[in-house]
Chains A and B, each alone.
Chain A
């Protein structure tokens, strides 16, 4: 065609997401700023979504793709629930996400996904994806604009990289929440596309007590059914400059 093909169907909307798996819980968090270039489009655009009572998905990259992708995943999970009268297990959601991403291998969703939740064994789990569907299970992962700032911090504080001596395999929930908060306040200081608000989802394994979450500022429960895993959201302010 004689016409120039110069339309670029992608943009990059900033922000950062992160997830950490504990022994019997998972935390999935993201900031709420949405940007384009040097403009703040909005101070509150959620990037972290509850899929089921044991799965929470964080999406980061091109916001339009991210929102559409989450919508499609949710509808696939709805069909699963219609067919099987139960929520899809976490590892199956992870595989579903990989096939859905790879299905658009040649016109990808420009989105980095991190899935957090509780696996079939009742353990905390984090799965991270690239835009075309490569994925792996990890203990922690950061993605997005400030990935390069946050991931080394997590490597040091979660995996104890470059630290000597004894260290635990799993950290307690209050400690993890503190690390998440510090990650985002730090990223907010040093990255212009991060800030405004922090949204943290906490998923607790079945039967696990929630006393560590009592009295936490800005917390509310968003569990939909009883006697299963429980989901909480914690909202915090981040600097708006």
Chain B
């Protein structure tokens, strides 16, 4: 996955219509009326969140995201929670456009309230939320009016853990380790190394160490990240989302770096 949310949903540069498969015609846009000029669709994200990481461990799902919402390269909002509890069994972690994420949160709140009002013992679990989100995001992309996000859906219900990915194109998949944005390139290989094959034995403490390690690496390498992040765990006992944490980092090596920037010698 591309590190820059601004590039999401655009053709990859090495494969721009290689086989002439993208439609060439101009699709009919919305009907023009007096307000058409005033209507805008998300064609580029504005305030963005970066990676979200999550993986399975023996008791459920662990997920993490930092607290930064960037405005381009400006670290604009530094206390944003990007891990959103949905009902009693699910957490979604969102990257990409933060206003679209708030809109999704709003949709899900409505959904959960409706479900609660039925008072019939049925509740939406992570698998249902995942399907719902994929339908919403796919429907929006099909209207050429995407919700510019990539989301992780993690949860635990009826003795089963669930972890899935949904993005602005409606692309979905499940796996035991998932990461969005820059995390899919930097953290995902680490997560696979630590987690794949050990899903049923990893403890929560081990999981948190892995998360801390990955968030630290991301903070070192991702210019749109911040060393302030939260961890969510979803298990039999329910959802818990931590206070903001920071990883211990070491920058003394920076002094010795030569060869670029101001220090050319």
Contacts and interface: CB of A to CB of B under 8 A. Distances in A.
Contacts of B9: 7-9
A13 B171 contact: yes
A63 B175 contact: no
Contacts of A25: none
Contacts of A13: 171
Interface in B135-154: 138, 141-142, 144, 146
A121 interface: no
Nearest to B15: A12
Contacts, number: 86
Contact of A131 (B21, B146, B175): B21
B229 interface: no
Contacts of A68: 138, 170
B102 interface: no
Which of A2, A107, A108 counts the most chain B CB atoms within 10 A?
Answer: A107
Interface in B142-190: 142, 144, 146, 165, 169-175, 184-185, 188
Interface residues of B, number: 36
A106 B25 contact: yes
Given A3-B41, A4-B43, A110-B21, A10 B169 contact: yes
A6 B43 contact: yes
Contact of A37 (B2, B25, B36): B2
Interface in A97-154: 106-108, 110, 131
A88 B185 CA distance: 45
B27 to A, nearest CB: 6
A63 B43 contact: no
A181 interface: no
Contacts of A10: 21-22, 169
Contacts of B41: 3, 7
Given A7-B144, A43-B175, A67-B172, A36 B10 contact: no
A3 B44 CA distance: 10
B23 A63 contact: no
Interface in B18-76: 21-23, 25, 27, 29, 36-37, 40-41, 43-44
A42 interface: yes
B27 A1 contact: no
Contact of A64 (B29, B36, B138): B138
Contacts of B36: 1
B1 A64 contact: no
B21 A3 contact: no
A171 interface: no
B23 A108 contact: yes
Number of chain A interface residues as a range: 20 to 34
Contacts of A188: none
Contacts of B146: 7, 9
Contact of B10 (A7, A42, A108): A7
Given A1-B29, A8-B11, A42 B175 contact: yes
A84 interface: no
Contact of B170 (A2, A36, A64): A64
Interface string A10-32: 11110000000000000000000
A6 to B, nearest CB: 6
B178 to A, nearest CB: 8
Which of A6, A64, A67 counts the most chain B CB atoms within 10 A?
Answer: A64
A41 B40 CA distance: 31
Interface string A44-70: 110000000000000000111001100
Nearest to A110: B21
A64 B169 contact: yes
A39 interface: yes
A175 interface: no
Contact of B23 (A3, A62, A67, A106): A106
Which of B9, B40, B146 counts the most chain A CB atoms within 10 A?
Answer: B9
A6 B165 contact: no
Contacts of B12: 11, 37
Given A4-B43, A39-B184, 11 more contacts: A7-B146, A9-B9, A39-B185, A39-B188, A41-B1, A42-B165, A45-B174, A64-B170, A67-B134, A107-B23, A108-B23
14 contacts: A4-B43, A5-B43, A7-B41, A8-B11, A9-B146, A36-B1, A37-B12, A39-B184, A41-B165, A42-B175, A64-B138, A68-B138, A107-B27, A131-B21
What 5 A-B pairs come out closest when comparing CB atoms? Answer: A64-B170, A42-B175, A42-B173, A64-B171, A45-B173
